[in-house]
Amino acid sequence: MIQIIKIYMNQQMTIFRYQLVYYTFGIIFFSLGAKGFIDAELGTDPLDVLVIGMNRHLGVGLGTCSSLIAILFLFWWMLWNNKLPPMTPFVSTSAVGFLLDFWNALHLENYTIKAMPVVDVIVFGYTVNLSAVTLDVVSLLVCAYASALIIMSGIGIRIMDLVAITMIEKWGWSFFKAKMTLEIGLFSTGWLLGGPMGVTTVLFLFLVGPFIQPFMWVNANYLRIPNHGINQHHDEAEYSVQTKTV
């Protein structure tokens, strides 16, 4: 039975307990960062632009919409690679979505953006709340750190990264080109559906990624967290290929 599950999940079954711990913390932190994006109302990450846009039409909850998107992309990956997909991208994507529903149910915004003073400034003729900007920046850093934990756990991989790997293998694209194509497609579709695209969407594309590697270095050298995901000396393209067996 274990062998059947191992083949189906298409991943190694030897997972240490502490890997599950910081994988779980990574998922929780990422959902808190995403919640901060939503509450700051300056846009959100590309995937959640689509998730929120879908939910505005379906009304079934962010967790269910996240799961539907994960299933769609995993089905695409399965047809493209002619084999069963790994399960962790579905688990990660769905868990973040359901945690967002949970934070919304708890009205977490009452303890974040609504608890912060409104400090309006005029920037290029637009009124900007500095408290919202602060929450947004903190949320970006939280998502970057959460991504570092998830990668180092060696358990999960983002659904977009999984598909990007196949684009690299099938079309010979760079990891950056594949990621940008997918992310732009996500937030463009989400925006057409009414999702909250904004400055955060752009910042997420270009700022979260560069912070992941330094956070991994801090985790490894100061917190002594072993890296089960990638070797930090490898470049981004090598990472993307390696993660297909994680």
Q: What is the pLDDT of residues 190-240, one digit of tens each?
A: 999 999 988 889 888 888 877 888 998 999 999 888 888 754 433 433 333
Answer yes or no: is 21 within a domain. Answer: yes
Bigger pLDDT: 32 vs 205: 32
Answer yes or no: is 9 within a domain. Answer: no
* Residue 81, domain extent: 17-241
Number of domains in the chain: 1
Answer yes or no: is 246 within a domain. Answer: no
Answer yes or no: is 11 within a domain. Answer: no
Angle between the N-to-C axes of helices 209-221 and 130-153, in degrees from 0 to 180, rounded to the nearest 10: 60
Answer yes or no: is 3 within a domain. Answer: no
pLDDT at 246: 32
Kindly state the average pLDDT of the residues 79-90.
Answer: 86
Answer yes or no: is 8 within a domain. Answer: no
Q: 36-50, pLDDT tens digit by residue?
A: 999 999 989 999 999
The residue count of the chain comes to 246
pLDDT at 142: 96
Answer yes or no: is 6 within a domain. Answer: no
3 state SS for the chain: CHHHHHHHHCCCCCCCHHHHHHHHHHHHHHHHHHHHHHHHCCCCCHHHHHHHHHHHHHCCCHHHHHHHHHHHHHHHHHHHHCCCCCCHHHHHHHHHHHHHHHHHHCCHHHHCHHHCCCCEEEECCEEEEHHHHHHHHHHHHHHHHHHHHHHHHCCCCCHHHHHHHHHHHHHCCCHHHHHHHHHHHHHHHHHHCCCCCCHHHHHHHHHHHHHHHHHHHHHHHCCCCCCCCCCCCCCHHHHHHHHHHC
Kindly state the average pLDDT of the residues 62-87.
Answer: 91
Answer yes or no: is 225 within a domain. Answer: yes
> Model pTM?
0.81
CA distances (Å), origin 105, targets 11, 47, 60: 34, 21, 14
